[in-house]
Every structure is written in structure tokens, then in C-alpha cells.
Amino acid sequence: MKRYHPLLVGLHWLVAVMILVALLIGGPSLAEMKNSDPEKMFGLTGHMIWGLSIGALMIVRLAMRAFSKRPLPASAGNALLNSGAKFAHLGLYVLVLAMVASGLGIAISADLFAIVFSGSGAPLPADFSIYAARQAHAVIATLLLILIGLHIAGWVYHQFYLQDRLISRMWFGKRT
């Protein structure tokens, strides 16, 4: 098996783009907006739907991964780097799911589902940082960004130093 299943490939790139947009654009611009800003409700609606969709797609991806044939683990020619890649991939799954879970934690703490989606009319708290889940959301975002940076560095190492075209495993084409 030379490549991941095309659905896994498609989901990898879709989820990657969605995560980068949330991490670099959506989340930070939402955090900058005051809760008293009339635009805040619109931003929250978008970010919550976007974040929950990432969670749903990630679960579909994990299920697909369990039921599809995968290429054998790639070698970076060094046992330490190979285990590093294994832990980094596990870490990416864990941190993305932790991001969604802490986002849900903020939503539950502040009763956002009723306020944002059902128009309960209850006020937003002055600041979400009173919630532990909000602080966790920011810490996990930083860790995830660092791990994505390392993941991309791994790709650069394979692409330009080992020149083994690892990326083709995560692209479409003949699998055998």
C-alpha cells in the first residue's frame, strides 16, 4: 500500500485548512472582539459551527483510519525520529480533539448554545477568561500550533533532505 485511502487524504487536507483558518484567523479575531461588540454573536456563531465541524470531521477521519488499509509507517532513517513522528501524529489527534472539547467547555460554562443558537437573550459574560476552559483553549491552541510547525518541519526534512516524496502518501493516486 503506497498511499492513504483517498477519503483520508481528502479529510487530512480539508481538516488541515480548517484548523489553520481557526487557529490563525477565526479564533484570534474572535478573541480580540469585546463581548459587548454587536458583531460578537455573529463571530461566535461562525467559530462554534466551524470548530464543531472540525471535531465531527476528525471523528470521521479516525473511524476511516481504523477501517482502511494504510501504508507501512514511513522511515526517517533514525529510530528516535520514527518514534517522534508516531507521537507527533498521536499528539495532533489529541490536541485537535482537546481544542474542540475545551471549546465545548467554554460554550457549556457560558451557556452559549442557548444564547447563540436559540436566541435566549441572556447576556454574554463580560469576558470568557473567567472560565478555566477558555484558558485551556488558549494554551492548547499554542501547543497545537507548535506541533503543526514540527509536523511541517518533518515534511520539509523528508521532502528536501531525504527526498523520499513522503507527501505522495498523503495525496491521491494509485494505491498499490
In 3D, which of 60, 57, 68 has the Cα closest to residue 14? 57
Which residue, 60 or 138, has its beta carbon nearer to ligand HEM?
138
Tell me if 138 contacts ligand HEM by CB under 6 A: yes
Tell me if 19 contacts ligand HEM by CB under 6 A: yes
Tell me if 76 contacts ligand HEM by CB under 6 A: no
* CA dihedral sign, ordered 9, 88, 101, 106: negative
Query: What is the footprint of ligand HEM within residues 140-169 (CB under 6 A)?
Result: 141, 148, 151-152, 155, 166-167, 169
Q: Least distance to ligand HEM from the beta carbon of 121, Å?
A: 18
> Rounded CA gap, 150 and 153, in Å?
5
Collect all residues with Cβ–Cβ distance below 8 Å to 69 and sequence separation of at least 6. Answer: 1, 5, 175
> Rounded CA gap, 75 and 77, in Å?
5
Tell me if 57 contacts ligand HEM by CB under 6 A: no
Q: Least distance to ligand HEM from the beta carbon of 123, Å?
A: 14
Tell me if 1 contacts ligand HEM by CB under 6 A: no
